[in-house]
Amino acid sequence: MKANRKFINNYNAISAVIGVILMVAITVAIAAVAFVYFTGMLGGPADEKENAGITVIQDSGRIKITLISSGDRMADDGYSFANSVIVRLNGTALDESGIDPANTGWELGESIYIGNSNPALDDSRGDVLALGGADYSITVTIMDTVIFDDKVKVL
């Protein structure tokens, strides 16, 4: 019986204050790790890329670009040719002055054409002359996101 009292009378433990401080520190560390993890997963809208879809085909000596799916950041009246859309032919940005001023933006299902006339970018196929047969490098950028970057063979 005397041996059992030895354990009861001997208080060799961490004080209550140090125990509380350790528990608070562990809780703060877990909260910080959870915060960093979840904010990294969410990301902000400024970091997201535009996810529009287009088709690019050869159409009677012209290059036809059609908007087939809209991105998350497309305005109600479509993508603005002046501010949001850049089309490059062989590395040179094309002028959008051939686009009808009444056409406020590039909307879903709408096509634009590249041809051998000045300006080379137009929203009406009949307004641009046919290109010569060759491979043309086309780059379409919408809202600072490259949507298409490839060669198109015109016959």
Res 1 pLDDT > 60: no
Are 41 and 57 in a shared domain?
no
User: Quick one: pLDDT at residue 89?
Assistant: 92
Q: Which residue has the higher pLDDT, 121 or 118?
A: 121
Are 26 and 66 in a shared domain?
no
User: Quick one: pLDDT at residue 26?
Assistant: 97
| pTM exceeding 0.75 | no
Are 63 and 19 in a shared domain?
no
Q: Which residues contact 132 (CB under 8 A, 6 or more apart)?
A: 116, 154
Number of domains into which the chain is organized:
2
CATH code of the domain containing 142: 2.60.40
**Least confident stretch, 42-46, 136-140, 147-151:** 42-46
Are 83 and 123 in a shared domain?
yes
Rounded distance, CA 105 to CA 94, Å? 16
| Banded model confidence at residue 124, pLDDT cuts 50, 70, 90 | confident
| Residue 100 near residue 130, CB atoms below 8 Å | no
Q: Which residue has the higher pLDDT, 131 or 72?
A: 131
Are 140 and 102 in a shared domain?
yes
Res 56 pLDDT > 90: yes
Are 60 and 24 in a shared domain?
no
DSSP 126: G
Are 40 and 59 in a shared domain?
no
Are 112 and 66 in a shared domain?
yes
Are 38 and 85 in a shared domain?
no
In degrees, to the nearest 5, what angle opens at C-alpha 19 toward C-alphas 16 and 25?
A: 145
Rounded distance, CA 133 to CA 42, Å? 47
pLDDT for 133-146, tens place per residue?
Answer: 899 999 999 988 99
Are 21 and 69 in a shared domain?
no
Res 21 pLDDT > 90: yes
What is the pairing mode between strands 121-122 and 145-154? unpaired
Rounded distance, CA 25 to CA 17, Å? 12
Whole domain around residue 130: which residue ranges? 53-154
Rounded distance, CA 122 to CA 99, Å? 5
Span 46-59, average pLDDT: 85
Res 9 pLDDT > 70: no
